Amino acid sequence: MDALIIYPENKEQLTALKAIVKAMKISFEQKSIVYPEHVLDGVKSSLIEAEEKKLKQFSGIEDLLR
């Protein structure tokens, strides 16, 4: 059977969708996309480096090993 992925825009839409799905006795699971703190920290520091023009051009794996 096919699956649907639905992206409600607000809490009211989420509540309404959950009520409809429950009333129709359709199984579902709710997931929130949560990234680990170390990933978010890395993104933030990369954005700061980009703003400060501190990025280096990547041309291959050798650049990573230096």
pLDDT on residue 47: 93
Domain ranges of the chain: 11-65
The pTM is what?
0.49
Query: What are the two backbone dihedrals, phi and then psi, of residue 29, each rounded to the nearest 5 degrees?
Result: -135, 145
Tell me whether residue 14 is exposed, middle or buried, using C-beta atoms within 10 angstroms of its C-beta: 0 to 12, 13 to 18, 19 or more: middle
pLDDT digits (tens, 9 = 90+) for 34-64: 788 899 999 999 999 999 988 877 788 887 7
